[in-house]
């Protein structure tokens, strides 16, 4: 495994006339937690989506675990992986969405077994054993046979995290994992993410939870207007921000 897990260099991305990423650089080291903060519309989700190859970059490059997944040079020369390679890469990049995205017609256990069996060709029995172990890890052993709609939002999000882990990802991306939850359910999801951090899981977490960022992040990245305005250890970015835009954001957030 490489020392650097995710590297984003000079990435630009537009949707029609709207330039959403304006030259983003980001380095995520293996085993570290990067928390991305920033106002709505600053490009946080789009950045995550380029890392997962759900969006192609217009310019710049993105690599994961030393493997280039997208590149476009200044003269527009395009390099990108073949579709099959993209799918292979994507199975190793876990993505946890704001609204859980569980398969509603499958049980909790089946939600965790589906992708390892179909995408990684794991034997079903082995995938089920792994799934039960992961459910235990997120405190939901007793929910294996439940359907997602029978669970609280916090429980559904913990299932979604276990499902992402079932693919043994190299890196886990979280896009506002607690934003859709009632306040009393936020803590149980953040606790699972904290456990993963302690276990050395490489993660990029987009969130508005400043306390969580302070506690868990190795690096805090503040984005605004499609650029990284400031980044560094939590004590620097959160407690002594250098940039006025970071200060303005933080003063409104707490
Ligand atoms: P954030 O996650 O920081 O709120 P996003 O990356 O979701 O920001 O979006 C940044 C901007 O890009 C927003 O103005 C949004 O409306 C726009 N945008 C995002 N995705 C698309 C898309 N597929 N098509 C058009 N505009 C988009
Ligand atoms: Mg977003």
Using the atom order of ligand 1, give the atom closest to the CA of residue 49. Answer: 6
| The pLDDT value given to residue 73 | 67
| The pLDDT value given to residue 90 | 85
pLDDT single digits (tens) 15-28:
999 999 999 999 99
Give the residue, out of 45, 173, 222, 227, with the most ligand 1 atoms within 8 A of its beta carbon, to mutate for a pocket test: 45
Residue 189 contacts residue 158 (beta carbons within 8 Å): yes
Q: What's the CA-to-centroid distance between 141 and ligand 2, angstroms?
A: 31
Q: What's the CA-to-centroid distance between 121 and ligand 2, angstroms?
A: 32
For the whole prediction, is pTM greater than 0.90?
yes
pLDDT single digits (tens) 179-190:
999 999 999 999
Number of Cβ within 10 Å of residue 16's Cβ equals: 5
Please state the ipTM of this predicted complex. Answer: 0.98
What's 187-224 look like in SS3?
HHHHHHHHHHHHCCCCEEEECCCHHHHHHHCCEEEEEE
pLDDT single digits (tens) 29-54:
999 999 999 999 999 999 999 999 88
Residue 178 contacts residue 143 (beta carbons within 8 Å): no
Q: Which residue owns the Cα nearest ligand 1 atom 20? A: 46
- Whether 78 shows a pLDDT value over 70: the answer reads no
- Whether 191 shows a pLDDT value over 80: the answer reads yes
Residues with CB under 6 A from ligand 1: 15, 18, 20, 38, 40-46
Q: Which residue owns the Cα nearest ligand 1 atom 25? A: 15
Distance between terminal CA atoms of the chain?
A: 38
Q: What's the CA-to-centroid distance between 20 and ligand 1, angstroms?
A: 7
Instruction: Locate 92 and state its tokens.
Output: 């190793």
Q: Which residue owns the Cα nearest ligand 1 atom 19? A: 46
| The pLDDT value given to residue 204 | 98
Q: What's the CA-to-centroid distance between 172 and ligand 2, angstroms?
A: 16
Percentage of residues in the chain with pLDDT exceeding 70?
96
- Whether 116 shows a pLDDT value over 80: the answer reads yes
| The pLDDT value given to residue 68 | 77
- Whether 99 shows a pLDDT value over 90: the answer reads yes
| The pLDDT value given to residue 21 | 98
Q: What's the CA-to-centroid distance between 42 and ligand 1, angstroms?
A: 8
Using the atom order of ligand 1, give the atom closest to the CA of residue 39. Answer: 3
Using the atom order of ligand 1, give the atom closest to the CA of residue 48. Answer: 6
Q: What's the CA-to-centroid distance between 222 and ligand 2, angstroms?
A: 13
């Amino acid at each position: 495994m490489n020392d650097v897990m995710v590297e984003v260099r000079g990435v630009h991305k537009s949707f029609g006339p709207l330039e959403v990423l304006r030259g983003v650089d980001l380095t995520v080291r293996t085993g570290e937690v990067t928390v991305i903060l920033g106002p709505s519309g600053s490009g946080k989700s789009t950045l995550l989506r380029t890392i997962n190859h759900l969006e192609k970059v217009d310019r710049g490059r993105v690599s994961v675990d030393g493997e280039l997944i997208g590149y476009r040079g200044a003269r527009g020369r395009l390099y990108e992986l073949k579709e099959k390679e993209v799918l292979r890469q994507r199975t190793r990049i876990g993505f946890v969405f704001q609204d859980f995205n569980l398969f509603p017609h499958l049980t909790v256990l089946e939600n965790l077994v589906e992708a390892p069996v179909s995408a990684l060709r794991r034997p079903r029995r082995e995938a089920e054993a792994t799934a039960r172990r992961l459910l235990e890890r997120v405190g939901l052993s007793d929910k294996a046979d439940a359907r997602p709609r029978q669970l609280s939002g916090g429980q559904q999000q913990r299932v979604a995290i276990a499902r992402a882990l079932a693919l043994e990802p190299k890196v886990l991306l979280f896009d506002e994992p607690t934003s859709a939850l009632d306040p009393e359910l936020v803590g149980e999801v953040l606790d699972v993410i904290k456990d993963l951090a302690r276990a050395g899981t490489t993660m990029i977490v987009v969130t508005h939870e400043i306390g969580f960022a302070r506690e868990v992040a190795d690096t805090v990245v503040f984005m605004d207007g499609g650029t990284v305005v400031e980044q560094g250890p939590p004590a620097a970015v959160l407690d002594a921000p250098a940039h006025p835009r970071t200060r303005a954001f933080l003063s409104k957030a707490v």
